[in-house]
Amino acid sequence: MKRKITIHDVAKKAELSVSTVSLIMNNKPNVNEETRRKVLEIIRQLGYHPLRSARGLASQSSGNIGFILTEDHFSQAEPFYTKIFLGTEFEARNHNFYILLTTVGWTLKDQSQVPRFLLEHNVDGVIIAGKIGSSWVEYIQEQNLPLILIDYELARHRVSTIGMDNRTGINLVVEHFRTGGHSKIGFIGGDIRHPSIAERFASYRDTLASAGMPINSRWISVGEANTSLDDGYEAAKRIFSLGGERPTAIACANDAMALGCMKFLKEAGIAIPGDVAVSGFDNIEAGLHVEPRLTTVNVHREEMGGIAVRRLVEMIKDHSSVITKTLTPVELIVRDSCGVKESVSD
Partner DNA sequence: TTGAAAGCGCTAACAT
Partner DNA sequence: ATGTTAGCGCTTTCAA
Query: 120 or 346: whose CB is closer to DNA?
Result: 120
Nearest residue to 100 via CA among 72, 67, 133, 73: 67
The one of its own copies, DNA, none whose footprint includes residue 117, by CB under 5 to 8 A per kind, is its own copies
Give the interface segment with DNA, choosing from 32-40, 105-113, 146-154, 287-295 (CB under 7 A): 32-40
Distance CA 258, CA 293 (A): 11
Q: How many CB atoms lie within 10 A of CB 177?
A: 27
Task: Select from 57, 209, 225, 271 the one that contacts its own copies (CB under 8 A).
Answer: 57
Looking at the DSSP assignment, which residues form a beta bridge with residue 223? 191
Is 45 a binding residue for DNA by CB under 7 A? The answer is: no
Give the interface segment with its own copies, choosing from 6-14, 52-60, 154-162, 186-194 (CB under 8 A): 52-60
CB of 7 to its own copies, least distance (A): 13
Site string for its own copies, 67-106 (x = CB under 8 A): -------x--xxx--x---x--xx--x--x-xxxxxx---
Is 270 a binding residue for its own copies by CB under 8 A? The answer is: no
The one of its own copies, DNA, none whose footprint includes residue 216, by CB under 5 to 8 A per kind, is none
**Under 8 Å between Cβ of 188 and 250:** yes
Distance CA 125, CA 144 (A): 9
- Dihedral pair phi/psi, residue 121, rounded to 5°: 50, 50
Query: 185 or 257: whose CB is closer to its own copies?
Result: 257
Distance CA 295, CA 272 (A): 11
Query: 90 or 218: whose CB is closer to its own copies?
Result: 90
Query: 205 or 293: whose CB is closer to its own copies?
Result: 293
Distance CA 15, CA 137 (A): 49
Site string for its own copies, 150-189 (x = CB under 8 A): ----------------------------------------
**Under 8 Å between Cβ of 338 and 278:** yes
Nearest residue to 10 via CA among 44, 57, 55: 44
Task: Select from 51, 119, 242, 288 the one that contacts DNA (CB under 7 A).
Answer: 51
Q: Which helix (H) or strand (E) holds 43?
A: helix 33-46
What spatial distance separates the first Cα and last Cα of the chain, rounded to whole Å? Answer: 71
In the region spanning residues 107 to 126, those forming contacts with its own copies, defined by CB under 8 A, are 111, 116-117, 119-122
Is 289 a binding residue for its own copies by CB under 8 A? The answer is: yes
**Which DSSP category does 115 fall into?**
-
Is 54 a binding residue for DNA by CB under 7 A? The answer is: yes
Is 133 a binding residue for its own copies by CB under 8 A? The answer is: no
3-state secondary structure of 198: helix
Parallel/antiparallel/unpaired status of strands 147-150 and 126-129: parallel
Is 47 a binding residue for its own copies by CB under 8 A? The answer is: yes
> Is residue 325 packed enough to be buried (19+ CB in 10 Å), middle (13-18) or exposed (0-12)?
exposed
**Which DSSP category does 118 fall into?**
H
Query: 90 or 216: whose CB is closer to its own copies?
Result: 90
Distance CA 271, CA 180 (A): 17
- Which residue ranges make up the site for its own copies (CB under 8 A)? 4, 47, 49-57, 62-64, 74, 77-79, 82, 86, 89-90, 93, 96, 98-103, 111, 116-117, 119-122, 259, 285-286, 288-291
- Which residue ranges make up the site for DNA (CB under 7 A)? 4, 6-8, 15-20, 22-23, 25-26, 29-36, 48-51, 54-55, 57-60
